[in-house]
Amino acid sequence: MTADPAIDLRGVSKRYLTRGGEVEAVSSLSLAIRAGEFVAVIGPSGCGKSTLLKMVAGIETPTAGTITVEGGTPDQARRRRLFGVVFQDPVLLPWRTLEGNVSLPLEIVGSRRPERARSARELIELVGLAGFEASLPAQLSGGMKQRAAIARALILNPSILLLDEPFGALDEYTRNQLNLELLRIWSQSRVTALLITHSIQEAVLLADRVVVLTPRPARVAMEVDVTLPRPRQLAQLRTRECFELVGRVSAALYDRLEREAGRERGEPAAALAPGHLDSR
Amino acid sequence: MNLSATATIRHGLGPRLQSGLLKVGGLAALVVVWQIVTATLGVPSYILPEPSQLGPGLLQDRNQILDGLRPLLVQSALGFAFGNAFGIVLAALVNRFATVRVTVMPVALAVRSIPIVAITPLITLILGFGLKTTVTVATLITFFPAFINMVRGLAAVDREALQLFRTLDAGELTVFWKLRWPSAMPYFFSALKVTAPAAILGATVAEYIASNSGLGYMIQNASTNFQYRLMWEATIVTTAAVIVAFAVVSWLETMLVRWAPER
Amino acid sequence: MTHLPSFRHWARRVAAVLGVLVAWQVAAQLADGRARAVPPPTAILQTLAANWDLFVGDLQYTLLEAAAGFLIAVVIAVGLALVFIRSRPAELGLYNIAVAMHSIPFIAIVPILVIWLGNGYSPKIAVAVLASFFPILVNTTRGLRAVDEQTTHLLRVLDASWWQVLTKVRWPTALPYLLTAFKVGAPSAVLGATIGEWIGSQTGLGYRILSAMFNFDPDLLWATMVVSALAALAGFLLFDLLERLTVGRWVAEAR
């Protein structure tokens, strides 16, 4: 591995043209992710977190700034099949069996299939779905579908895992269960992982580093190094160290809200960000 | 700065204007090709008249065409109004009274798939030639979609919203006007977008085989009398009426049920 | 598991139709010939049985026209839908033309079609095309587009080609939409062919219907109507069966 970051965003901005005019989703954001690092990005909903991930994946292009993924552009990385991606919805094709869904990427790559590709059965077993290979998505529970999505993301043996609120639609119990699974799978492969989430606890449990974004337009408000030892366990969520980390992330995340609430109560508004005097 | 510049270049004239131009452009291109083909190949006007001659022709025949358009519009409008009124009232009854629902719905669901246009000869046989038949055809064409969609719309009330109204001790009438009626509007308008054009189409068909007035009759009469120009003009005006009816209803929909998510 | 309620559903509907038929029969008997335009169901059945050969002859023409029209409509509509999803400008430009074609009252253009295509099969086939084309176009386009955003993103990340997206995702996604459209389109083609026979024709169910109307022969008119209804129903049932056999397994749960 080189010293160069696996994913490097420099001064990235993204503006959209909407009916109501131009909207700035991301504003001169810089972020470097080392190879093998697990980074969680957290921010208020609608702040442009997902846009960030889509730009890294090469699905959207930044309006300004550059993104480098393993020495090339996101588009090149995409063509080199460096990415494995899991969205909030499992996105399983309802007419395919579990195995058919997991092996979809293999079919798409076709004869250009990389040697490092893994077998669908092996991955289905890895995510704990052995025995369900022939099931249709409609017969699987929400958690099982999301496991299938993880297996599909891993089948081309990607070096970068992009996770866009992967367990956001699941209940808390299932979510924690899958988080542990994800940790186990990740620790075996040690790929670079970029997780978008809105759960502080999830971010702290999984990541080496938590990046807190500001409300729209997204900028890096704060970065918190997660010093919890690995391998991680749920029990660590109840340690003092973890409480402190959650507290720091939470303080960064709710900073503006708290200041605005303070202003409402008539407290000094010295630190107010300009342009937000009329918000609320 | 250059950010907005790239945005403007990418979107050219602005997406809405561009798509508007393309929409109109397609039809305009069709007319231009039609004109060129008919003019250069010397196609006889009874096979395909030149678009450029349609305008002057229409102007010349305007009294005749208007004499046909008026009954067509009156008959379609009457049928459209009756069909919607019956449909709404019956749907409200079905919604309110379980006994009505149980007796009416199975029959309605079985009967609604009958294509009304196809049974026009039957209606003619029963009601005879003229106004009664044309209005009945337009009424029946309007009734079923209006009724079915209103039944669905009135029932498509969010359960929690209904519970909210119950906890506020709202009466049946309040629930109907404040909750069910507005919830049903998107459904009603999707029915209208079908029925407004269909009522005119149905009336045209009925006029064609069972009337001696209206554009439908005029098309039939002109074609049997080899008045091809008049036949073409009547056809085009009828089509235009159908398109205008659809456009008006669509416009009303965007004005009145703006809140509804696109379905 | 879904069979029981649907069976009860159908049973109720059949009961409703039977009830209407019985009431009709009783009413017609009571009217005792005063409402000649509405013969009792038994009289219609008798006419149907007595003229069976006549109807079979008519059916051959009408069904041939309907089938040809339907096939042509499917080819044009699916082809156009593929163009639409490939090119947004093409869709914007062509869709309104399709709407305009659909807005022409097809009875109104039968005389024009007769001028163009003569008195044979062709104008009837053309009406069948016009009658069934539009719903197929609309539904196929919608179906090919019904791929949700995240699936699209997934395929972009996998760098799937347009063709792969079409064959692996869009086409299977569109299949249920397509079959729904066929269930509407096939009866419409029968209907279109029948209406095409109303004018300038000496054969087919449509010709039989109009001549019965003008000769004031209620029994024959009603019986022919029953035959056309059954023909249209057969078109519907054909694709309903096909739907159950193919996409039925996963589509019910996917929606």
Residue A214 lies in a domain: yes
**pLDDT tens across A176-213, in order?**
989 999 999 898 888 999 999 989 999 999 999 999 99
Query: ipTM, 2 decimals?
Result: 0.81
- C24 and C81 in a single domain? The answer is no
Note the residue count of chain A: 280
**Beta-carbon separation of C105 and B26 below 8 A:** no
Q: Least CB-CB distance to C111: which of B106, B231, B246?
A: B231
B252 Cα to chain A: minimum distance (Å):
21
Statement to judge: residues C45 and C19 lie in one domain:
no
* Range ranked top by mean pLDDT from B15-19, C47-51, C155-159: C47-51
The pLDDT of residue B38 is: 85
Chain A nearest-CA residue for B5 = A63
Verify that C107 and C77 share a domain, yes or no: yes
Task: Tally the domains of chain C.
Answer: 2
Contact between residue A104 and residue A92 where contact means Cβ atoms under 8 Å apart: no
pLDDT of residue B27: 80
Same-domain status, C115 and C27: no
**Residue A23 in domain:** yes
Check the CA dihedral B12-B17-B20-B21 and report its sign.
negative
Per-residue pLDDT of chain B (263 residues; tens, 9 = 90+): 333 333 333 444 566 677 778 777 888 888 888 888 888 887 887 788 888 888 888 889 899 999 999 999 999 999 999 999 999 999 999 998 988 888 888 888 878 878 888 899 999 999 989 899 999 999 999 999 999 999 999 998 888 888 888 888 777 888 888 889 988 999 999 999 989 999 999 999 999 999 999 999 999 899 889 888 899 899 999 999 998 999 999 999 888 877 766 54
Is residue A268 a part of any domain in this protein? no
**Do C69 and C27 fall within a single domain?**
no
- Using a CB-CB distance cutoff of 8 angstroms, which residues of chain C are in contact with residue A93? 151, 168-169, 172
Q: Which of A264, A49, A72 is nearest to A160 (CA)?
A: A72
- One domain for residues C11 and C46: no
**Per-residue confidence (pLDDT) for residue C98, from 0 to 100:** 85
**Same structural domain, C114 and C29:** no
pLDDT the model gives residue B196: 94
> In this structure, are C30 and C71 located in the same domain?
no
Answer yes or no: do A57 and C156 touch at CB < 8 A.
yes
A112 touches chain C (CB under 8 A): no
pLDDT value for A156: 87
Q: Would an 8 Å CB–CB cutoff place A13 in contact with chain B? A: yes
User: What spatial distance separates the first Cα and last Cα of chain B, rounded to whole Å?
Assistant: 38
Which chain C residues have a beta carbon less than 8 Å from that of B118?
A: 191, 194-195, 225, 228
Read off the pLDDT of each residue in A248-258 and give the average, rounded to a whole number: 86
pLDDT at position C75 over 90 = yes
Q: Which of C13, C21, C34, C92 to mutate to test the interface with B (most CBs of B within 10 A)?
A: C92
pLDDT of the residue at A117: 64
> Which residues of chain C have a CB within 8 Å of the CB of A109?
158
Residue A68 — pLDDT band, cuts 50, 70, 90? very high
Give the closest-approach CA distance of A137 to chain C in angstroms. 9
pLDDT in tens, A111-155: 556 555 678 888 999 899 999 999 988 889 999 999 999 999 999
Range of the domain at C4: 1-35
How many beta-carbon pairs below 8 A join chains A and B? 12
Q: Which of A14, A17, A61 to mutate to test the interface with B (most CBs of B within 10 A)?
A: A17
SS3 B257: coil
Provide the β-strand partners of residue A224: A210
Contacts of A22 in chain B (CB under 8 A): 4, 7
In this structure, are C13 and C57 located in the same domain? no
CATH number of the domain that residue A26 is part of: 3.40.50.300
| C window 197-216, beta carbon within 8 A of B | 198, 209-210, 212-213, 216
Q: Over chain A, what HEC string results?
A: CCCCCCEEEEEEEEEEEECCEEEEEEEEEEEEECCCCEEEEECCCCCCHHHHHHHHCCCCCCCEEEEEECCECHHHHHHCCCEEEECCCCCCCCCCCHHHHHCHHHHHHHHHCCCCCCCHHHHHHHCCCCCCCCCCHHHCCHHHHHHHHHHHHHCCCCCEEEEECCCCCCCHHHHHHHHHHHHHHHHHHCCEEEEEECCHHHHHHHCCEEEEECCCCECEEEEEECCCCCCCCHHHHHCHHHHHHHHHHHHHHHHHHHHHHHHHCCCCCCCCCCCCCCCC
Same domain, C160 and C247: yes
Tell if the CB–CB gap between C157 and A85 is shorter than 8 Å. Answer: yes
- Which pLDDT score, from 0 to 100, does residue C254 have? 42
Is B239 in contact with C99 (Cβ distance < 8 A)?
no
Instruction: Indicate whether A259 belongs to any domain.
Output: no
Residue A107 included in any domain: yes
DSSP chain C: --HHHHHHHHHHHHHHHHHHHHHHHHHHHHHTTS-TTS--HHHHHHHHHHTHHHHHHHHHHHHHHHHHHHHHHHHHHHHHHHHHHH-HHHHHHHHHHHHHHHHS-HHHHHHHHHHHH-SSHHHHHHHHHHHHHHHHHHHHHHHHH---HHHHHHHHHTT--HHHIIIIIIHHHHHHHHHHHHHHHHHHHHHHHHHHTTSS-SSHHHHHHHHHHHTT-HHHHHHHHHHHHHHHHHHHHHHHHHHHHTTHHHHHHH-
Residue A124 structural domain: 7-234
Q: Which of A188-202, A261-275, B113-127, C7-21 is predicted with the least confidence, judged by mean pLDDT?
A: A261-275
Please tell me the total count of domains within chain A: 1
Tell whether A58 lies on the interface with C, counting CB pairs under 8 A.
yes
Is the pLDDT score of C2 beyond 60?
no
Mean pLDDT of C246-252: 64
Q: Which residue has the higher pLDDT, B41 or A98?
A: A98
- Average pLDDT of C77-99? 88
Shortest CA gap C244–chain A (Å): 14
Shortest Cα–Cα distance, B45 to chain C (Å): 11
Q: Can you tell me whether residue B158 is helix, strand or coil? A: coil
Query: What integer pLDDT is reported at residue B3 of this predicted model?
Result: 38
Say yes or no: C3 and C59 in one domain: no
Is B231 in CB contact (< 8 Å) with chain C? Answer: yes
pLDDT digits (tens, 9 = 90+) for C172-211: 999 999 999 999 999 999 999 999 998 878 899 999 999 9
Indicate yes or no: CB of B7 within 8 angstroms of CB of A64: no
Give the pLDDT of residue C114. 85
* C115, closest residue in chain B (CA to CA): B47
Is the CB of residue B14 less than 8 Å away from at least one CB of chain A? no
Same structural domain for residues C124 and C27?
no
Instruction: Count how many Cα atoms sit within 13 Å of the Cα of residue A54 in the half-sphere of its side chain.
Output: 20
